[in-house]
Amino acid sequence: MNHGQENLWAPWRMEYVRQLDPKDDKQETGCFLCRALAAAEVEAGERQAAMRGHLTLLADARGGIVLNKFPYTTGHLLIAPRQHVADLTDLEPRQRAELMELVVLAEQLVRTAYNPQGLNIGVNIGRCAGAGLPGHIHLHVVPRWSGDSNFMQTIGHVRVIPQALEQSYEQLSDTLAAMGAAAKG
C-alpha cells in the first residue's frame, strides 16, 4: 500500500546506516565522534585535512564541535565531550560544564555564520529516544528558519538541504576562525 506517499531515494544515507551495529548500543567500536575528535591530534601538516575529512570544526581537551554529516538542516552541529560515554551522568560536573561551554560556542557560531531565526538545541539519550550514536553522548545545535518546514517536508516527507556539506564546513570554519574561537580552549 502506498497511501499516496512517494519514495525519495537517498543512497548516501546507507553509509550512516551501515556503520550502526544494533547489537552495540554503546557503539564502543567505530565511533565517528571519537575519530572526529582525534583528527585534531594528527601531525600539524596533516591536521587541517584530517579535521576537514571528519567535518571537525573544533577539538580540544573539552571535546569538540563537528558538522553533522547527515544534517536536518544546513549548519546542523554535533557537540561532544572528549570522553566516550553514553550518558550525561557519566561525566563529572566540570566535564558537563565544559560541554555546555562548547554548546554555547556552537550556538554563537551558527548564529554568526547563518543568522537563523531560531535554534533547536537538544540531546537524545538511547536509541529509542532517537540517538543514532547512543554510546557517545552529544548535543545537537540545529539552526531553524521559518521556511525550513516547507511543502517538501510536509507533503513530500523529505528535507531539502540547500548547501553542500563542503560549503557548510568552509563557511563555519571561516566563521569560527574570524570569531577567534579556534585558539581558545
* Residue 131 pLDDT: 78
Asked if residue 7 belongs to a domain, the reply is no
- Which region among 20-34, 140-154, 164-178 has the lowest average model confidence (pLDDT)? 20-34
Which residues form the domain of 102? 12-178
Q: For residue 133, which phi and psi values (nearest 5 degrees)?
A: -135, 80
For residues 43 and 46, give the distance between their C-alpha atoms in angstroms, rounded to a whole number: 6
pLDDT tens profile 149-173: 544 444 444 556 768 889 999 999 9
| Average pLDDT over every residue of 123-149 | 86
13 vs 82: which has the higher pLDDT: 82
Asked if residue 5 belongs to a domain, the reply is no
Asked if residue 112 belongs to a domain, the reply is yes
Asked if residue 162 belongs to a domain, the reply is yes
* Residue 134 pLDDT: 85
Asked if residue 118 belongs to a domain, the reply is yes
The long-range contacts involving 64-70, CB below 8 angstroms and separated by at least 24 positions, are 64/33, 64/36, 64/37, 64/40, 64/102, 65/102, 65/105, 65/106, 65/109, 65/176, 66/33, 66/36, 66/37, 67/165, 67/168, 67/169, 67/172, 68/140, 69/16, 69/32, 69/165, 70/13, 70/16, 70/132
For residue 21, is pLDDT > 60?
no
* Residue 164 pLDDT: 86
For residue 65, is pLDDT > 70?
yes
Asked if residue 85 belongs to a domain, the reply is yes
For residue 29, is pLDDT > 80?
no
Alpha helices in 91-150 (DSSP H): 93-114
* Residue 173 pLDDT: 95
Asked if residue 113 belongs to a domain, the reply is yes
Asked if residue 4 belongs to a domain, the reply is no
* Residue 42 pLDDT: 87
Residue 47's domain is classified under what CATH number?
3.30.428.10
Query: How many structural domains comprise the chain?
Result: 1
Catalytic (active-site) positions: 138
- Which region among 11-15, 22-26, 132-136 has the lowest average model confidence (pLDDT)? 22-26
How many helical (H) and strand (E) elements, i.e. helices and strands, does the chain have? 6, 5
The cell for 93 is 560536573
Residue with cell 571528519: 54
| Average pLDDT over every residue of 110-116 | 96
CB 80 within 8 A of CB 31: no
| Average pLDDT over every residue of 80-84 | 96
Half-sphere exposure of 133 (CA within 13 A, CB side): 22
For residue 88, is pLDDT > 60?
yes
- Percentages helix, strand, coil for the chain (3-state, rounded to 5) are 45, 15, 40
